[in-house]
Structure 1
Amino acid sequence: MSTDIEKYNFKHIARKLGLGVAFYRLYYAPKGYLEKLMRWGFINTYLTNVGKKRMENATFQLPSISVNQSSDILDIYFMTGKKYWYQTCFCAYSMIDQTQTNIRPIIYDDGTLEEIHINEIIRIFPNAKILYLKDIEPILDNYLPTSKFPYLRERRLKQPLLRKLTDFHVGSQGWKLFLDSDMLFFKPPTFLLNWLKFPDYPCYMVDIFNAYGYPQDLMTSLAGAKIPDLVNIGIFGLKSEDIDWEQIEYWLKNLIETEGTHYNVTQCLSAMFLAGKKCTVVPAEDYIVMPNQEEVIQPQAVLHHYVADSKPGYFRYAWKHII
């Protein structure tokens, strides 16, 4: 508890002094890395970093996906950049490999994709569509002008995960299924394919605990409805035109002014958006968030989402099942 209070006070002092980013880089980022090092161990951390590099190198060996021009296309959406492009490729490849469906990855550039990454994405997925940051920002200026949506525009720059909402859905229409890159498919994702073909309600996967970053009583008060538990937006299906951006801006403003900024603000806003709505919940037993070591080494589920302390298993073992 004392650690939580210390962290809370430290963040608020930093924010008042306008030194939040500097303090994070000088204090919390190194502190977080050391804590992770202690949990994982030095050898496991080293082997995880080696596995990460091997996974990236292996992406260049993934075969090109053949495209069936005669069948209907189902789109899946990703956001990626030079740090995650290979994970995006493995996720999309593993999904397509497990289906007999014509799936097209639509990939939003976070502004860091380089030519070598783009070339490989197109080689592996000849029907992929890449949307570049320079093309997205004019749309944001039109639909979310900074003068009217200052919190969304400012937080989007400092917290790129917020682009899961803004960049994918602003000025757009129709249902979209977003997937995090750090996931792999091991069996046909029948549940997701059915949703893609016949979407009717928002779709999300089940987390291992409520990772919203903000008090649920505050979230409930702002949303005016009970916040659903265990929302994880590693899999997140939404209908773009259903989002009320003025409401999202109002929520974000109040969250920040009351509790400050938080890494999980996108998941918080998403859970608030889902409050009181009928949803399609992805079955947790088949689509696992943070699989244990046994499940990583011998996958039984349809999908794994490798968050937090399941990362070592992801980089050391899991991707090799796909290759």
Structure 2
Amino acid sequence: MSIAGKILYEFYYQPKNQLEVVRKFGGKQNYEKMLAAEQEMKNHALELLTINGDFSPMGEFKINFLTGDRFIHQSLFCVYSFFKFLTPEESQQFSVNFYSDGTLSQGVISVLQTKFPQIRLVPFGETQQALREHLPVLSYPRLNKKTAAMPLFKKLIYPHLNQTGGAAFFDSDMLFLKKPIAFLKWVEQFKMQENAAFCILDVERSYGYQEEEILKIWPGGIQHNINSGMYGIDSRQIDFDFIEKLVCDFENNFGSQYYLEQMITAIILEKNGNLFVADSEEYIVLPGTEQIRSQTGTLHHYVNESKEFYFKDSWRKQLLRK
């Protein structure tokens, strides 16, 4: 970005975007209440939260998060909500990995190592080394560029570098409301046929590109409105040569889009050929006010406006759930 562009962003676009966010959440007073509630959540997560469950780094099936100082409380509460409903036998099959997005401070790292030793922390430097070894810039210029510039691409790339076996990715801003029976059944199915994949559905089609543009690059089209906040697959199914080509083809022909990572994830999951699609009435993206109040469903993914209720209310409900 040029100097003029940086100045324009700092003094025009950034404040404008911030004002739009404040308006979306009901004005300055309500927005500040939401931020205060989030700070309470963060304090509780780092100081008081206890995560039970017999999961350990030895667990065969990996559950992966991308996290940093801004999201660590959300990541911890998501892990807490997942394992609180599982039996010891169910927990033992899982391991949990926190991939640093490069922003984890030493203070937070110390808390994780002391309070949550069963969670494996993957340092940012370790991931960068894996990138250099397995996705060298000369062979994968676009993927290196995307992971450096777009945090969303990290969740598609980081957990699968030099990895094999069953792996799920969870966005941090999710809470499980009861035992995720469909997901657990899928994990059992995966053990028998490792080409299986799992996904949840979005509230709308969010891929960034027009349908005719998608069909020109991927003629079979994308059948489902997939949300990449929770997916499962064998890491061996993540073909980085294929992803590099998809990124090049879409960007060279139609430019870059914010939801490019979500679209590529959807293509990979459907290309797998054995996709389990979770019930959208149980695995809910953008839960409504009544769904949050009554704690409807198995999973809530708190995107967009639902974050207000997530920070003000939902994490507290988690502490009371049995």
TM range (shorter): 0.7 to 0.9
Q: Which letter does structure 1 place at the counterpart of 2:220? A: A
Residue 31 of structure 1 and its aligned partner are, at CA, apart by 2.7
Quote the Cα distance in structure 1 between the aligned partners of 2:283 and 2:6.
Answer: 35
Residue 67 of structure 1 and its aligned partner are, at CA, apart by 3.3
Following TM superposition, the consecutive aligned residue runs of length 4 or more in structure 1 with deviations greater than 6 angstroms are: 17-22
Residue 27 of structure 1 and its aligned partner are, at CA, apart by 4.2
Find the counterpart in structure 2 of residue 90 from structure 1: 77
Q: Could you list the runs of 5+ residues in structure 2 that have no partner in the other structure?
A: none
**1:223 and 1:275 in contact (8 A); partners too:** no
- Which of 135, 148, 154 does residue 157 from structure 1 map onto? 148
Query: What aligned pairs does 1:151-230 form with structure 2 within 5 A after superposition?
Result: 151-199=142-190, 200=193, 201-230=196-225
Find the counterpart in structure 2 of residue 78 from structure 1: 65
Task: Summarize the Cα distance change of 1:68–1:280 in structure 2 as closer, same or farther, 3 Å threshold.
Answer: closer
Quote the Cα distance in structure 2 between the aligned partners of 1:20 and 1:317.
Answer: 40
SS in 1 for 2:15: helix
CA root-mean-square deviation: 2.3
- Which of 271, 292, 312 does residue 316 from structure 1 map onto? 312
Aligned pairs, number: 307
Residue 203 of structure 1 and its aligned partner are, at CA, apart by 1.1
Is 1:118 aligned to residue 113 of structure 2?
Answer: no
Is 1:31 aligned to residue 16 of structure 2?
Answer: yes
Tell me the TM-score normalised to structure 1 length. 0.87
Quote the Cα distance in structure 1 between the aligned partners of 2:216 and 2:314.
Answer: 41
Find the counterpart in structure 2 of residue 10 from structure 1: none
Is 1:282 aligned to residue 273 of structure 2?
Answer: no
Residue 307 of structure 1 and its aligned partner are, at CA, apart by 0.3
Residue 262 of structure 1 and its aligned partner are, at CA, apart by 2.3
Residue 22 of structure 1 and its aligned partner are, at CA, apart by 6.2
Find the counterpart in structure 1 of residue 36 from structure 2: 50
Residue 61 of structure 1 and its aligned partner are, at CA, apart by 0.8
Q: Equivalent pairs: percent with the same residue? A: 28
Find the counterpart in structure 1 of residue 235 from structure 2: 240
Task: Summarize the Cα distance change of 1:25–1:236 in structure 2 as closer, same or farther, 3 Å threshold.
Answer: farther
Is 1:141 aligned to residue 159 of structure 2?
Answer: no
Quote the Cα distance in structure 2 between the aligned partners of 1:211 and 1:282.
Answer: 17
Find the counterpart in structure 2 of residue 294 from structure 1: 290
Residue 74 of structure 1 and its aligned partner are, at CA, apart by 4.3
Tell me the TM-score normalised to structure 2 length. 0.87
Is 1:105 aligned to residue 117 of structure 2?
Answer: no
